[in-house]
Amino acid sequence: MTTASASEQFVVTATEFLRNRLAREDNVCVTSSFQAEDMVVVHMVRAILPRVPVLFLETGYHFPETITYRNQAVADWNLNLIVVNPERTVAEQEAEFGILNQTAPDRCCALRKVEPLFRSLAPYSVWLTGLRREQSKSRANLQVEDAFTLPTGQTLAKLSPLAEWKTSDVFSYAEANAIPLLPLYEQGYTSIGCAPCTSLPFDPDDPRSGRWSGRKLECGIHLQAT
């Protein structure tokens, strides 16, 4: 099987999975950091659920390019964007705790990403992500569908339709569907999060090696699946 035919099969499989799985659901959301994978998932899901809620974590530390790109995507695609904010502003958090992204990145992620997202997922029964196994060794066993239990005890169906996709598949889909991508990719970034915790990858074989200066692999959102 050639790379092109493999990509085509991945698209067919993901599309069929989503159409079959979402046909019986109405409390569905997609989380998006507006990276390439998330744009692909949003594009696929909108073909089925045009007004699907798209949850974006506003950490206050994003690259300006990310916010500009997000705003353009929302306008171009008429996205049903839901901005999820932490309890504290950046100024309030830094006044109370100091610059946690430098001293305690796990705590910073918990306050600005994990806790706000888990609260915002409460109204939904299905949560869609752009996660892929290839992204990190911490995601090597990622399933296309899994159960995810929130701290409240509520369980959601967590769907990762691109679990098997390679990076080349993602970019091929974006090109085929005329999806412009975050300009930071052109600068060499391969995994893009908050600006203070994102650098160019130092390991060409590890796309997430530029995150948190290699001190950790995950923010914590995707570590509590049952």
- Nearest C-alpha neighbor of 134 from the set 180, 182, 168: 168
- Nearest C-alpha neighbor of 59 from the set 67, 51, 68: 67
Degrees, nearest 5: CA angle 99-104-105: 90
Contact by Cβ (8 Å): 79, 56: no
**Alpha helices for the chain (secondary structure H):** 3-22, 36-46, 64-77, 90-97, 100-103, 105-109, 115-120, 167-176
Which residue in the list 29, 108, 109, 219 is annotated as catalytic? 219
Q: Is the dihedral of CA 117, 123, 125, 126 positive or negative?
A: negative
Please compute, for residue 124, the number of CA atoms within 13 A of its CA located in the half-sphere on the CB side: 25
Residue 219 is a catalytic residue? yes
> Would you please indicate which residues are annotated as catalytic (active-site) residues?
219
